[in-house]
Chains A and B, each alone.
Chain A
Amino acid sequence: MTNARDDLPGGPVSARPLHFFFIADCSGSMAGEKIGTLNEAIRESIPAMRKVAEGNPNARVEVQAIRFSAGAQWHTPRAVPVETFDWTPLSANGQTDMGAALTLCSQALKTPPMPQRALPPVLVLVSDGQPTDDFDFGLKQLLAEPWGKKAVRIAIAIGDDCDLDVLRRFNGNPELEPLVARDAASLVRFIRWASTAVLKAASAPASQAAGAALVHVPLPPPPASPPPGSANDIW
């Protein structure tokens, strides 16, 4: 006798994909300790990301990375399941073509390749400077995609030379200011928060009435940014 396991109408089902993007500034000003700390922070966050993913078998987490300096390129050639994701260190050199990075990301958020049924993608933008290309164009391209608009977007500034207004516009979330890391420990904390707490929130969003809330996915509070002038400030 056939049972319900063999004859599911419509065929096999699968967990909803969740695409997590690191968008990393690799301009010359990032060289040295900044890029080293960023590499280490992302590398260390991977086991915690896997743990979050294991806790929700109804989400299939895939990780991708974009680097930008003079132009923007995929740092990972394709989306990689978090279970097998490994971090290849970035190096720094050149300008801050953030707009190009957002344009490149917008292409990955088109439907297809992004399925309609996906969970909200998470975009983590890390930068220490000001865009040297057409940021407005890149942001416009990103927000023109339904998934770009509905993505959870987190901006992390390294040091005080960033244009926070640009990063606020990237976030597009009145409840979330860009996170400002002025020392290595803060950068590690912010990356960890984005890749675990934010990932968890995005992997199980509660359905809600369109337009009822200012944000698509309510986020847990981020770690506090130490005030400028702290003894540990190095950037």
Chain B
Amino acid sequence: MTSGERPFVCAASVTGAHHLREGRPCQDAYRAERLVDTLLLVVADGHGSSPRGAEGAELALEAAGRVLAHVQEEAARLRPAEDLRPLRRLVEQHARGRLVRLWRELAQALAPNAALKDFGSTLLCALWTPDYLVALRLGDGDLVLVEDGRPRPLLALPEEEEVGDETQSLCGPSAEHAVRALVRPAPRGEALLLLATDGYAKSYDDPEALSAVALGYLQQVRERGAAAVEERLPSYLQRVTEQGSGDDITCVLAGRVAPP
């Protein structure tokens, strides 16, 4: 994060309206932290068909936190402010595989005799420092970056993967290859990054609707402040799940806005 703008982080998670009707718990998990000038953001969605999906989502937070911490340590040596290519190689060649392996080790340590698919979960995560933004995704959900006033989906999936309720997963046989990664310079100026589980986008007819959602949140943070948005976020998400998809919904918002 650079000076000039105020950094912010907001996050909330609600149990899906349909899950509540069926007496099922929320199987999403999130982590949203601001550490001095760095943002660590993780969202995971345990599969409804996985009996221990909620635990799998928590393990995804743990794995992503460790892997992104390692990326940050290595980045200090790789001088990404001068050249992003070494960092990109590190993420492409090592971080993606490490993420999946670590999640699997954690699941096996927790329940050595359980099947990995019992813990199935998706994962979206980002590390945003003053010099670079690293984002990783495995499975459905959305990442949207608003920069220069324009929203842009990051690491978008091909249409075939966006259709239906099957998704790439940490428990999948080709998980390591299915992890999508992005390494780019840190957004400059006013910016917002939105990470959300798929229940959010599935509440809108327009597949690009989360771009408008992200813009709307940036405007609210600018006008009302992050604390006010964080206070409202659970009621927004509650309304979206009740009138929309009925699924669990988790949303993490982070970035910076210009001072008033």
Q: Give chain B nearest CB distance to A35 CB in angstroms.
A: 34
Instruction: Among A10, A58, A59, A207, find the residue whose CB has the most chain B CB atoms closer than 10 A.
Output: A207
Is A14 an interface position by the 8 A CB rule?
A: yes
Residue of B nearest to A4 (CB): B235
**In the complex, A117 Cα to B162 Cα: how many Å?**
8
Tally B residues with Cβ within 8 Å of A. Answer: 54
Is A120 an interface position by the 8 A CB rule?
A: yes
Give the chain A neighbours of B21 by CB distance below 8 A.
56
Residues facing A in B130-178 (CB within 8 A) are: 140, 159-169, 171-173
Give the chain A neighbours of B216 by CB distance below 8 A.
7-10
Is A231 an interface position by the 8 A CB rule?
A: no
Give the chain B neighbours of A84 by CB distance below 8 A.
none
Q: Are A209 and B172 in contact (CB under 8 A)?
A: yes
Instruction: Given A4-B236, A8-B236, A115-B207, decide whether A207 and B47 contact each other with a Cβ distance below 8 A.
Output: yes
**In the complex, A5 Cα to B120 Cα: how many Å?**
34
Tally A residues with Cβ within 8 Å of B. Answer: 38
Give the chain B neighbours of A169 by CB distance below 8 A.
none
A contact patch SS: loop
**In the complex, A208 Cα to B120 Cα: how many Å?**
8
Is A75 an interface position by the 8 A CB rule?
A: no
* Stretch in contact with the other chain, from B32-40, B102-110, B179-187, B198-206: B198-206
Q: Are B47 and A209 in contact (CB under 8 A)?
A: yes
Q: Are B166 and A208 in contact (CB under 8 A)?
A: yes
Q: Are B165 and A58 in contact (CB under 8 A)?
A: no
**In the complex, A102 Cα to B214 Cα: how many Å?**
40
Give the chain B neighbours of A8 by CB distance below 8 A.
216, 236, 239-240
Q: Are B48 and A208 in contact (CB under 8 A)?
A: yes
**In the complex, A59 Cα to B159 Cα: how many Å?**
21
Give the chain B neighbours of A216 by CB distance below 8 A.
164-166
Give the chain B neighbours of A147 by CB distance below 8 A.
163-164
**In the complex, A185 Cα to B167 Cα: how many Å?**
40
Residue of B nearest to A7 (CB): B220
Q: Give chain A nearest CB distance to B240 CB in angstroms.
A: 5
**In the complex, A114 Cα to B214 Cα: how many Å?**
25
Cβ-defined partner of A117 (8 Å) among B161, B173, B219, B245:
B245
Is B7 an interface position by the 8 A CB rule?
A: no
Give the chain B neighbours of A218 by CB distance below 8 A.
49
A-B contact pairs, 28 of them (CB 8 A): A4-B235, A4-B239, A7-B216, A7-B220, A8-B236, A9-B220, A12-B243, A13-B239, A14-B204, A15-B245, A58-B244, A111-B159, A111-B163, A117-B201, A117-B207, A120-B165, A146-B160, A150-B163, A150-B164, A206-B47, A206-B165, A207-B47, A208-B48, A209-B168, A210-B167, A211-B173, A212-B166, A216-B165
Taking beta carbons and an 8 Å cutoff, which residues of A are in contact with B?
4-5, 7-16, 56-59, 111, 115-120, 146-147, 150, 204-213, 216, 218
Sample of 10 further A-B pairs with CB below 8 A, known A14-B244, A120-B164, A209-B167 = A9-B217, A10-B216, A56-B21, A116-B159, A118-B163, A204-B246, A207-B167, A209-B120, A210-B161, A210-B167
